[in-house]
């Protein structure tokens, strides 16, 4: 899959060029039904998911896995006959090192005993000395408590012990629940550093407790890049309980390295439109992943879902009116450099973007789409919803701001943006952990995911009416 | 808690000796109700659970944690006024080392990429060279397949990829489900070694998949002590999928050490009976745990549940007719040397054991008791069941053989044996993993657990009728 000879690319492209694609039938419901049902009957996306996660695995920016994923996606899209452009992007190159934690002093500790802490460095973390550091731990539950205890922070390790609200996540509010927790991961270490902390820890942001650590990016100031890690939920609770008994001292070793920026690429694959080839509908996911798991839900599922849009149309010999642009974004996780590069290179061409989709919430069962369009545009999607409703994916919910990782720049510039509305109740069980692996993706849910992505992309690429640019309406 | 000065022991013992305990009221239902309700209102056991898991943590045989647990349990029982005996036991002393696995060659592997495998050495595993070993992997699903492919095994790493049947576990059959899987963990590596394998791996035996490895004992021949480890469920599946694509080569490093046997102890705490002090009712759990987690369910819960029997009776000023003997067994996990030592030292006194209880299935909600008693004895427990039924713990199920880790010798010798009948549907999610921690134990379930243990122990200690020795009836 990753080593397709050049000859095959040429043949595939030739077949594509020569094939008698049907004329675009606009938004004929019959075409939408065919797209939906073709997607529901195919495991092409599931097989590509296996290729990306089993053969490559983790794809952190700057890694060999990320480079392999660029090649794999480009090859796959070329095989489908798309025109592939690799857009260069300089990405952060942060490499995890040793990471250990040990509770070495606490009230009631028996002779010879210490407690091991499960933790993992946050992306962008600084390093401790190679031999580690020892410091007393101060546990806080929120930023107010950090401020109230500011005088105690200097020279200490701060632990932000903020529980993830799984109750919310179980009830369709995984996003806000994640936002509440990840706020401490993103900003807590920097604030602790500003108060003189020697290191910062956060409770892992996730709702399943199996002593695993959830990594993610943290925003440290360059002049105060302290060691920062996520501890498992269990260890955060343990440290809180021990700190409540008396002074708690921890030995922490984190040896990540920040290397010079590396070369990567946005993989951009165009499936040209018939009568409006200059108008673009983006369908996308992000190519990179964290380094602990194989990034199956986050975000191989999004990338293969986007690629499968073209596979589905090709199976049906359908050509869209507008150009469908599949993008596998570089570096969503720790920099969004890919999205920024695209925005920069397309700043004069934003108007040519009719709409954009990104799938970056895993492959849970899809319920429909979230969309940042003008209120007057909602009714335009009724024919699409009618086709998706029988598979439970007909809910199209307008939101003022989607704020997805890679589309937010385009969205702010006014491009109508879409993101699948999914079951995310278990997404944050695995997200950014070693457990985000192929087996977590349900084959049937992924088929539905592709049905939603392909139907919506097709619908957008063939709409008669303009959606209207939401920013102009605000 | 662990460092109580000697003076306090003396005072506590004196108070006990001097206190005006009520005469044993036999199996008056009013006493049983009081015991049940006192246990349901107390978090004494929960606090002891925190002491054992938070202050000490892992308690593998031969470790400082195990030694600390001996002291902690002995001190606690002395504070309760019991007569404590430390019975010496020589225990295996196996120490985990480095453990890493990496899939370094497989069909479709991109340049520069390898896949990390999450694994943990099995207790008793041999070691690889410090620099690891490289070998091709052969994946089998059962022993028949191993035999059929015996010629391929030499020089290879054998992976037993046997799924845990969580469907059974969800339906009250966690024990048999575990037995099916752990058979491969216990016996697979030895059989692979006999066929010339250089190492053996088993799929972790458990039903929750969060990329964690489940350790446990394996029975290797001393002359063929190959490296043996459990891989996470996810990694077993990944390796199966990659092996299906073509030859799969793994780099494996395991550096555990088997040291000379260490000194440990069964902690035996007698709460003497009034009119039949020479008759013994054992109530017990095991003191040791695996080294990855803090052994909260396995088996701190059993030990604190047994200790809390005495605490409950003491709170009520109740003295049993027969002697209640609390035992925290040494070395259940990797040798059952504690149980063997007790059986040896008590072989002439087996007849003095009226009954024995061991709790070693965690602290899930209790439904009642499993018991290996004669069929004619079942009806004797009706008054106890009547008291426990209102809290959902009135199901007493006779079984021919319980076969618990520590009681099986006494049971075979004819001592009527009891083990809590519990919700174990999630027990094997955590069992023998890093995730078996304090937070997994529900406070309310533990109260019920103590109510069951205390009521049953009291009932046994005060029964008028002999239960009858089941071995004589068979
Ligand atoms: Zn993502
Ligand atoms: Zn056990």
3-class SS letters over chain B:
CCCCCHHHHHHHHHHHHHCCCECCCCCCHHHHHHHHHHHHCCCHHHHHHHHHHHHHCCCCCCCHHHHHHHHHHHHHHHHCCCEEEEEEEEEEEEECCCEEEEEEECCCCCCCCCEEECEEECECCCCCCCCCEEEEEEEECCHHHHHHCHHHCCCCEEEECCCCCHHHHCCCCHHHHHHHHHHHHHHHHHHHHHCCCCEEEEECCCCCCCCCCCCCECCCCHHHCCCEEEECHHHHHHHHHHHHHCCCEEEEEECCEEEEEEEEEEEEEEECCCCEEEEEEEEEEECCCCCCCCCHHHHHHHHHHHHHHHHHHHHCCECCCEEEEEEEECCCCCCCHHHHHHHHHCCCCHHHEEEEEECCCCCCCEEEEEEECCHHHHHHHHHHHHHHHHHCCCEEEECCCCCCCCCHHHHHCCCCEEEEEECCCCHHHHCCCCCCCHHHCCHHHHHHHHHHHHHHHHHHHHCCCCCCCHHHHC
> Which residues in chain B are closer than 8 Å to A438, comparing Cβ atoms?
234, 237-238, 241
Tell me which residue of A138, A171, A308 sits closest to A239, measured CA to CA.
A138
Q: What is the pLDDT of residues B399-443, one digit of tens each?
A: 999 989 999 999 999 999 999 999 999 999 999 999 999 999 999
Q: Are residues B211 and B89 in the same domain?
A: no
Any A CB within 8 A of B239 CB: no
Q: Which residue has the tokens 């990471």?
A: A99
Q: Look at residue A399 and tell me if it is in a domain.
A: yes
Tell me which residue of A332, A330, A196 sits closest to A263, measured CA to CA.
A330
* Alpha-carbon span B405 to B431, nearest angstrom: 15
Rounded to the nearest 10°, the torsion over CA B103, B108, B113, B115 is -30
The residue length of chain A stands at: 474
Last-in-domain residue among B203, B234, B255: B255
Q: Are residues B238 and B289 in the same domain?
A: no
Please give the pLDDT value at position B6. 37
Distance in Å, CA B64 to ligand 2 centroid: 19
Q: Are residues B401 and B328 in the same domain?
A: yes
- Show which of residues 88-127 on chain A sit within 8 Å of chain B, judged by CB atoms: 106, 108-113, 115-116, 118
Spacing of C-alpha B334 from chain mean position: 10
Q: Do A55 and B434 touch (CB under 8 A)?
A: no
How big is chain B by its Cα radius of gyration, in Å? 24
Tell me which residue of A139, A129, A433 sits closest to A254, measured CA to CA.
A129
Q: Are residues A225 and A154 in the same domain?
A: yes
Q: What is the pLDDT of residues B194-205, one digit of tens each?
A: 999 999 999 999
pLDDT band at A99 (very low <50, low <70, confident <90, very high): very high
Closest-CA residue of chain A to B55: A109
Tell me which residue of A313, A421, A308, A315 sits closest to A360, measured CA to CA.
A421
Please report the ipTM that was assigned to this predicted complex: 0.93
Q: Look at residue A18 and tell me if it is in a domain.
A: no
Q: Which of A67, A209, A437 minimises the CB distance to B211?
A: A437
User: Which of A250-259, A328-337, B16-25, B125-134 is predicted with the least confidence, judged by mean pLDDT?
Assistant: B16-25
Q: Are residues B388 and B268 in the same domain?
A: yes
A332 has catalytic annotation = yes
pLDDT band at B3 (very low <50, low <70, confident <90, very high): very low
Q: How far is CA A429 from CA A53, A233, A439, B179, B206, in A?
A: 18, 11, 14, 28, 17
Q: Are residues B308 and B412 in the same domain?
A: yes
Q: Is pLDDT above 80 for A26? A: no
Last-in-domain residue among A225, A255, A285: A255
* Alpha-carbon span A379 to A387, nearest angstrom: 14
pLDDT band at A350 (very low <50, low <70, confident <90, very high): very high
> What pairing do the DSSP bridges indicate for beta strands B157-160 and B395-398?
unpaired
* Alpha-carbon span A88 to A91, nearest angstrom: 10
Distance in Å, CA B316 to ligand 1 centroid: 58
Please give the pLDDT value at position A470. 64
Structure tokens given for B39? 């246990």
* Residue A138 · residue A232 · CB < 8 Å: no
Structure tokens given for B333? 């996990």
With a pLDDT cut of 90, the percent of chain B lying above it is: 91
The residue length of chain B stands at: 474
Q: Do B435 and A234 touch (CB under 8 A)?
A: yes
Average pLDDT score over residue span B174-180:
96
Q: Is pLDDT above 60 for B11? A: no
> What pairing do the DSSP bridges indicate for beta strands B257-271 and B322-329?
antiparallel
Q: Which of A50, A71, A434 minimises the CB distance to B118?
A: A434
Q: Would you tell me how many other CB atoms lie within 10 Å of the CB of residue B445?
A: 17
Q: What is the pLDDT of residues B259-290, one digit of tens each?
A: 999 999 999 999 999 999 999 999 999 999 99
Structure tokens given for B282? 């054992």
Please give the pLDDT value at position A466. 86
Q: Look at residue B81 and tell me if it is in a domain.
A: yes
Q: Is pLDDT above 70 for A319? A: yes
Is the model more confident about B16 or about B450? B450
Q: What is the DSSP letter of A318?
A: B
Q: What is the DSSP letter of A298?
A: I
> Which residues in chain A are closer than 8 Å to B109, comparing Cβ atoms?
55
Cα distance from B190 to chain A (closest Cα, Å)? 29
Please give the pLDDT value at position A403. 86
Q: Which residue has the tokens 């002593």?
A: A211
Structure tokens given for B165? 């049947």
Tell me the HSE value of A399 on the side-chain side, using a 13 A CA sphere. 16
Q: Are residues A447 and A467 in the same domain?
A: yes
* Alpha-carbon span A248 to A21, nearest angstrom: 69
Q: Are residues B276 and B396 in the same domain?
A: yes
Spacing of C-alpha A345 from chain mean position: 22
pLDDT band at A21 (very low <50, low <70, confident <90, very high): very low
Helix (H) / strand (E) containing A344: helix A337-345
Q: Would you tell me how many other CB atoms lie within 10 Å of the CB of residue A43?
A: 15
* Alpha-carbon span A197 to A177, nearest angstrom: 27
Which-ligand-closest: CA of A216? 1
Closest-CA residue of chain B to A66: B113
Query: What is the residue-averaged pLDDT of chain B?
Result: 94
Closest-CA residue of chain A to B106: A55
* Alpha-carbon span A342 to A194, nearest angstrom: 34
Is the model more confident about B5 or about A232? A232
Q: Look at residue B16 and tell me if it is in a domain.
A: no
SS3 state at A267 = strand
Q: Do B68 and A1 touch (CB under 8 A)?
A: no
* Alpha-carbon span A60 to A292, nearest angstrom: 9
Q: Strands, DSSP E only, in A288-403?
A: 322-329, 353-358, 366-372, 395-398
Q: Are residues B330 and B346 in the same domain?
A: yes
Q: How far is CA B419 from CA A294, B372, B432, B448, in A?
A: 42, 9, 20, 14
Structure tokens given for B137? 């992997």
Please give the pLDDT value at position B403. 86
Q: Are residues B185 and B326 in the same domain?
A: no
Please give the pLDDT value at position A468. 79
* Alpha-carbon span B408 to B402, nearest angstrom: 7
Q: What is the pLDDT of residues B344-377, one digit of tens each?
A: 999 999 999 999 999 999 999 999 999 999 888 9
* Residue A153 · residue A194 · CB < 8 Å: no
Q: Look at residue A9 and tell me if it is in a domain.
A: no
Q: Is pLDDT above 60 for B13? A: no
Optimal mutation site among B59, B76, B234, interface A, most CBs of chain A within 10 A: B234
Q: Is pLDDT above 80 for A73? A: yes
Average pLDDT score over residue span A460-472:
82
Q: What is the CATH number of the domain that holds A160?
A: 3.50.30.30
* Alpha-carbon span B465 to A43, nearest angstrom: 67
Q: Look at residue A140 and tell me if it is in a domain.
A: yes
Distance in Å, CA B286 to ligand 2 centroid: 7
Q: What is the CATH number of the domain that holds A428?
A: 3.40.630.10
Q: Are residues B251 and B275 in the same domain?
A: no
Q: Do A111 and B211 touch (CB under 8 A)?
A: no
Helices and strands, counts by H and E, chain A:
15, 16
Tell me which residue of B165, B132, B213, B211 sits closest to B201, measured CA to CA.
B213
- Asked whether the whole model's pTM tops 0.95, one would answer no
Closest-CA residue of chain B to A238: B54
Please give the pLDDT value at position A417. 97
Q: Is pLDDT above 90 for A246? A: yes
Domain membership of residue B217 as a residue range: 97-255
Please give the pLDDT value at position B362. 98
Q: Is pLDDT above 70 for A465? A: yes
Closest-CA residue of chain B to A55: B109
Tell me the HSE value of B17 on the side-chain side, using a 13 A CA sphere. 8
Q: What is the DSSP letter of A297?
A: I
Q: Is pLDDT above 90 for B20? A: no
- Show which of residues 59-78 on chain B sit within 8 Å of chain A, judged by CB atoms: 64-65, 67-68, 71-72
* Alpha-carbon span B435 to B260, nearest angstrom: 29
pLDDT band at B12 (very low <50, low <70, confident <90, very high): very low
Number of domains in chain B: 2
Tell me which residue of A183, A147, A139 sits closest to A165, measured CA to CA.
A183
Please give the pLDDT value at position B465. 84
Q: Which of A209, A242, A293 minimises the CB distance to B211?
A: A293
Q: Are residues B403 and B377 in the same domain?
A: yes
Q: Look at residue B14 and tell me if it is in a domain.
A: no
Tell me which residue of B110, B243, B112 sits closest to A3, measured CA to CA.
B110
With a pLDDT cut of 90, the percent of chain A lying above it is: 91
Q: Look at residue B19 and tell me if it is in a domain.
A: no
* Alpha-carbon span A193 to A287, nearest angstrom: 32
With a pLDDT cut of 70, the percent of chain A lying above it is: 93
DSSP string, A19-62: S-PBPP-TT-HHHHHHHHHHHHT--HHHHHHHIIIIII----TT
Last-in-domain residue among A238, A255, A272: A255
Q: Is pLDDT above 80 for A472? A: no
Q: What is the pLDDT of residues B312-327, one digit of tens each?
A: 999 999 999 999 999 9
* Alpha-carbon span A157 to A143, nearest angstrom: 15
Q: Is pLDDT above 90 for B9? A: no
Which-ligand-closest: CA of A217? 1
């Amino acid at each position: 899959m990753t080593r397709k000879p050049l000859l095959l690319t040429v043949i595939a492209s030739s077949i594509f060029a020569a094939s008698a694609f049907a004329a675009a039938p606009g938004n004929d419901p019959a075409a939408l039904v065919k797209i939906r049902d073709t997607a529901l009957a195919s495991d092409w996306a599931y097989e590509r998911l296996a290729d990306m996660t089993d053969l490559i695995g983790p794809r952190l920016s700057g890694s060999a896995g990320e480079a392999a994923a660029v090649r794999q996606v480009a090859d796959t899209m070329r095989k489908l006959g798309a025109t592939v452009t690799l857009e260069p992007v300089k990405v952060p190159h942060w490499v995890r090192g040793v990471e250990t934690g040990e509770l070495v002093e606490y009230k009631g500790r028996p002779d010879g005993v210490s407690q091991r802490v499960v933790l993992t460095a946050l992306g962008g973390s600084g390093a401790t000395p190679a031999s580690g550091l020892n410091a007393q731990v101060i546990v806080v539950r929120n930023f107010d408590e950090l401020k109230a205890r500011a005088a105690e922070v200097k020279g200490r390790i701060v632990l932000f012990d903020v529980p993830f609200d799984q109750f919310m996540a179980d009830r369709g509010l995984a996003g806000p629940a994640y936002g509440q927790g990840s706020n401490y991961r993103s900003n807590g270490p920097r604030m602790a550093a500003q108060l003189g902390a020697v290191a910062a820890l956060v409770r892992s942001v996730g709702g399943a407790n199996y002593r695993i650590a959830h990594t993610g990016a943290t925003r440290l100031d360059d002049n105060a890049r302290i060691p920062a890690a996520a501890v498992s939920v269990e260890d955060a609770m343990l440290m809180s309980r021990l700190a409540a008994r008396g002074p708690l001292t921890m030995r922490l070793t984190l040896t990540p390295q920040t290397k010079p920026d590396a070369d990567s690429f946005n993989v951009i694959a165009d499936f040209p439109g018939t009568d409006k080839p200059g108008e673009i509908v983006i369908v996308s996911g992000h190519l990179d992943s964290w380094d602990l798991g194989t990034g199956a839900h986050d975000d191989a599922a999004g990338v293969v879902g986007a690629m499968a849009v073209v596979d589905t149309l090709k199976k049906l010999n359908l050509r869209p009116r507008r150009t469908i642009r599949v993008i596998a974004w570089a570096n969503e996780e720790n920099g969004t450099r890919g999205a920024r590069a695209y925005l920069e290179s397309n700043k004069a061409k934003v108007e040519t973007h009719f709409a954009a989709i990104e799938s970056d919430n895993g492959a849970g069962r899809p319920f429909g789409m979230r969309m940042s369009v003008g209120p007057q545009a909602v009714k335009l999607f009724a024919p699409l919803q009618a086709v998706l409703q029988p598979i439970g994916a007909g809910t199209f919910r307008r939101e003022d701001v989607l704020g997805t990782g890679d589309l937010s720049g385009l969205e702010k510039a006014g491009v109508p943006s879409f993101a699948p509305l999914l079951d995310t109740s278990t997404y944050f069980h695995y997200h950014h952990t070693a457990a985000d692996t192929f087996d977590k993706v349900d084959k049937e849910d992924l088929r539905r995911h592709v049905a939603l992505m392909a139907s919506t992309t097709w619908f957008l690429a063939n709409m008669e009416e303009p959606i209207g640019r939401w920013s102009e309406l605000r």
